[in-house]
Structure 1
């Protein structure tokens, strides 16, 4: 049965890699490709995190479905979806009289690990991450800034329960490099609470998510996340993407998605267990 489950996992991965031609090709692709280095913020691979033209509901963190694992270990799928929502209508009389209200956002990201090598193909752990934040536009010090509150938990009970609440501040700097851009956006965390069964979470995760993004909207893009915990507990995740269709909108379309991870906390459940190197491949919708 275990070999059948492994075969099922591989077949699912094959279906996943076929999705671009089966599904995305059906979406109209008549928009011109975007270029990095443009002065139009909406044409950057970073999406400038917000634009005046954005709809009330828009992309936030990357969205993907990928599969793979450590050498000799179970094949696991990992998928993530994420969005943000502008709370106040920009055209409302309230915002016109109080313009700063347009900068309030709600965001939500959900990340799951799915074991394709077990008989029942169980979900091993899921992380739920709602956030509430306020943004500030370009200044002489930064290109963009967000600060607010975030919660993360895995929705489990007793000894397997993991959770945390934190305040955060996230500045963004964008550096044009030829036809590409390097975007630096560290996320500084101040922990308010840590769950009963993960009171040492900060020792493994650290207090800064160092995010780096480099690439060209028409070609390869690379996202890197680095965390530095106590006593040399470092974690790194690298996402490499390549477009396989004309973009639908900024950062959104169809992408070959490769992910590398090594360190602590690939899931909330295993925040204090070192894993990796882990390699996964699949389809990205947002990068």
Structure 2
């Protein structure tokens, strides 16, 4: 309490001080959840889902041969912008059963050839990801390990294109969220909903029948919040096959103002975007993050 009193300004209320002291006793997940609960009953409240960020500068070594016919001799630049918008809306609380919430979520991730004036700065790729999520946020234990949240989602992901550039898949995803102090862990596994085989490139059917050979059947992640200011994150994915393929994402976010964070992201592996799900990619980007997992 004394540290909060020393750092408080004249506008800080007793309720604010009490809330800060209570948050010191919470895990990182409980702190985020407490903020969401404060606004969840507001019918105008749309909450962040996955991180929202803008990376004005990214560099990747991706092979753009797939676009050769479309570009007719022109080329995409290795330097581009990347941004992600991700929101959710809590549609029902205590849906059918107590402590189960139903949420609608949408995530769009775009790769934008911002500096490619010769091609009029086109959007190279956008991945759209709507989903319906059922969350159970009453803590329980699995083999003695405390589980903060359990969820099941119906997930569609597509790049919105047709013909040979079309990529999409539908999944049922189950996941667990755990936290210990300033560290939050997540593990999820998915089952891909089968699709009919595609007979022609422009026909109806499975655009990417081998996507699980590169994306696997799940992923794990962790985020460590350091001194309430810096966040270090990691995501790992693997197909667990003899022909081993996987991916890693490393992230570092740090404060640059009261509402903005600087953000550095590094990716290495398969599935950085749907169009390149079967191409190994390295990418590094710098920019700002509007909202994080924590």
> The TM-score by the shorter chain falls in which range?
0.7 to 0.9
The match for 1:215 among 219, 225, 229 is 225
Matched with 1:149 is 154
Asked whether the equivalents of residues 86 and 102 of structure 1 are also in contact (C-alpha less than 8 Å), the reply is no
Aligned alpha-carbon RMSD (Å): 3.0
In structure 2, distance between residues paired with 1:35 and 1:133: 32
Query: Per the alignment, do residues 217 and 207 of structure 1 end up closer, same or farther by CA in structure 2, a change over 3 Å counting?
Result: farther
**Is 1:172–2:148 an aligned residue pair?**
no
In structure 2, distance between residues paired with 1:34 and 1:58: 22
Alignment of 1:173-212 (within 5 A): 173-176=178-181, 181-193=182-194, 196-212=206-222
Asked whether the equivalents of residues 257 and 282 of structure 1 are also in contact (C-alpha less than 8 Å), the reply is yes
Asked whether the equivalents of residues 29 and 148 of structure 2 are also in contact (C-alpha less than 8 Å), the reply is no
Residue aligned with 1:218, SS: coil
**Is 1:65–2:70 an aligned residue pair?**
no
Query: Per the alignment, do residues 80 and 217 of structure 1 end up closer, same or farther by CA in structure 2, a change over 3 Å counting?
Result: farther
Matched with 1:233 is 245
Unaligned runs of 5+ in 2: 1-10, 63-76, 196-204
Write out per-residue CA displacement over residues 178-236 of structure 1, whole angstroms, 9 at most, x where no aligned residue: xxx11111111111136622110100000112111111363210121111024221211
The normalised TM-score by structure 2 is 0.73
Write out per-residue CA displacement over residues 7-35 of structure 1, whole angstroms, 9 at most, x where no aligned residue: xxxxxxxxxxxxxxxxxxxxxx9889979
The match for 1:263 among 261, 266, 269 is 269
Asked whether the equivalents of residues 36 and 217 of structure 1 are also in contact (C-alpha less than 8 Å), the reply is no
The match for 1:104 among 102, 105, 108 is 102
Residue aligned with 2:174, SS: strand
Alignment of 1:5-84 (within 5 A): 38-40=24-26, 44=29, 47-48=32-33, 51-55=36-40, 56-66=45-55, 67-70=57-60, 74-84=78-88
Unaligned runs of 5+ in 1: 1-28, 247-252
Write out per-residue CA displacement over residues 79-137 of structure 1, whole angstroms, 9 at most, x where no aligned residue: 0010110113x5xxxx6x96638611111110001123422111111000011111112
Matched with 2:136 is 136
Matched with 1:116 is 114
Cα deviation for residue 54 of structure 1 reads 3.6
Query: Matched residue pairs, number?
Result: 241
Query: Per the alignment, do residues 224 and 117 of structure 1 end up closer, same or farther by CA in structure 2, a change over 3 Å counting?
Result: same
